[in-house]
Structure 1
Amino acid sequence: MKKPIIGVTTYKDVTIQGYPTVILLRAYVDAIVRANWVPVLIPSLFPEDARNELFPRLDGVLFTGGGDISIEYHDGQYHSSISNVDEERDKLELTLMQAAISLEKPFLGICRGFQVLNVVMGGSLYTHIPAQKQDPIKHDYYPDYPRNYLAHKVAISSDCEISKILGSSVVEVNSLHHQGIESLADGIKAVGFAPDGLIEAVEVPGHRFGIGVQWHPEWLTEQVSMHQLFTAFTEAARNKN
């Protein structure tokens, strides 16, 4: 059976020797291998003409986690905790997300990728949940806890694709973020909620596979439900034509 080709976004870093690098954490690679697809890494510094040539060849796009999105794209409040803003990555991912939505190319947005989906559709973000959301639970468990630490439960709506994929109305998730959806964009549906009401999962109605989750399922693929999220993405990408 032919393996789908999935574009995977990356982030920039610097080695301890000072060499610039393009990074994809091992947990994503492990999830990709288990889900049986062929990854193509997309660096944020990729020239626009090369990106435009690559995109039609992809069967799907995985928008990975990472640093904060610049507030210029969602009119967010400045907060001193905003960090690791990458203008090149913002421009790349907002463009890719818009294309994936309009062309109905299957995509999965994780953490930052989940937020990119809301921003590109016109929604806004809390730039620091503890300072801006009323009565929040703790969401920023990194770096004080392991990345696979199950921080809280997410209630999943019954009438959505994610519920069918995960096979459960409640899932336990990790939580590695300090930002989140404040106002939900038109055109996407909130289908998963933390105990404090924060939106944790969204989907694009009518899209063949347009899903975003605030947690990091790549660290939780030993859970059947989280592995099923990646395999469902694989099948959607394989059958996109």
Structure 2
Amino acid sequence: MPRPLIGITMSRRKSSSGERDLYGVLYPYVEAVCGQGGLPMLIPLGLQMDELRDLYDRADGLVLSGGGDIHPEQYGDTLTELCTRIDPERDELEFALVRWAAAEGKPILAICRGIQSMNVALGGTLWRDLATELPNAAKHDCYPNYPRDQRTHSLSVTPDSRLAQLLQVTSVEVNSLHHQACREVAPEMRQVAIAPDGIVEAAEIPNHPYAVGVQWHPEWIQDTPDQRGLFAGLVNACGNGHI
């Protein structure tokens, strides 16, 4: 039986010389997909739309990985100095993947920046910087000297959601590595988890084979069954794989 092909989006960085772009994804994404029986297929930036569609068609499922900020003009807001690592080309690539997957029922797991891409692509908005726009919110961005797998806050999961079925819990501790978050959830999506301060931590598309977005990084805490369940659910939703 062929292993499902899982397309994983990539980030852009400059080479050490600054002369060329480098595309990459951190290894825990690959490890998490392989660990649940999937076969990773990396999706680079710089593709023409027909080339992207070809890769999309070959993939059985998608992972939208973390990364820099989405340009605020994509959700009707203005750019500030607090928005970092803006990459309009990546925005357009991921928005296309999200819209295709939402319309055609292709399984998709969207992580950190990924849930933000999914939300904006489908008509939602973002908080550009939680610390300045919601000063009473808890700290959600990187903690100095904390490892990426450090669980820093709890969240409450909607009991009748797909997310609750995947995690098999309705309350869980997660890591937190983001300074932005979903503000208005897209009409097509449903909020299914919140942090104690009310920040949206997960959303999904109802009546879709598998379209789940989470604000934390399950790939860094995949040592526990609840977080592995997100990747197992994605791979299982892909059925028997690409034929």
Distance 1:205 1:34 in 2: 26
TM-score normalised by L of structure 2: 0.95
Deviation track 1:75-104 (CA, whole Å, cap 9, x = no partner) reads: 134332100011110110011110000001
Distance 1:187 1:224 in 2: 29
Q: Structure 1: any 5+ residue segments left out of the alignment?
A: none
Runs of 4+ in 1 over 6 A off after TM superposition: none
Aligned partner of 2:196: which letter?
Answer: P
Give the structure 2 partner of residue 88 of structure 1: 89
Deviation track 1:15-47 (CA, whole Å, cap 9, x = no partner) reads: 324442111101112212211211111111122
Change (3 A) 1:23 1:39: same
Please give the residue correspondences for 1:4-153 in structure 2 after superposition, counting only pairs within 5 Å. Answer: 4-18=4-18, 19-133=20-134, 135-141=136-142, 144-153=145-154
| Residues 13, 23 of structure 2: 8 Å contact kept | yes
Distance 2:24 2:212 in 1: 23
Give the structure 2 partner of residue 175 of structure 1: 176
Report how far residue 144 of structure 1 moved. 4.2
Kindly, what percent of the aligned residue pairs are identical?
37
Distance 2:67 2:210 in 1: 22
Distance 1:134 1:13 in 2: 31
Aligned partner of 2:150: which letter?
Answer: Y
Q: What secondary structure sits across from 2:233 in the alignment?
A: helix
Distance 1:23 1:136 in 2: 32
Number of residue pairs the alignment of both structures matches: 241
Report how far residue 50 of structure 1 moved. 1.2
Aligned partner of 1:238: which letter?
Answer: G
Aligned partner of 1:207: which letter?
Answer: H
| Residues 155, 196 of structure 2: 8 Å contact kept | yes
Aligned partner of 2:9: which letter?
Answer: T
Which range is displaced more, 100-109 or 54-63? Answer: 54-63
Give the structure 1 partner of residue 194 of structure 2: 193
| Residues 137, 196 of structure 1: 8 Å contact kept | yes
Distance 1:198 1:151 in 2: 14
RMSD: 1.5
Q: What secondary structure sits across from 1:201 in the alignment?
A: strand
| Residues 71, 79 of structure 2: 8 Å contact kept | no
Distance 2:105 2:144 in 1: 35
| Residues 3, 238 of structure 1: 8 Å contact kept | no
TM-score normalised by L of structure 1: 0.95
Aligned partner of 1:126: which letter?
Answer: W
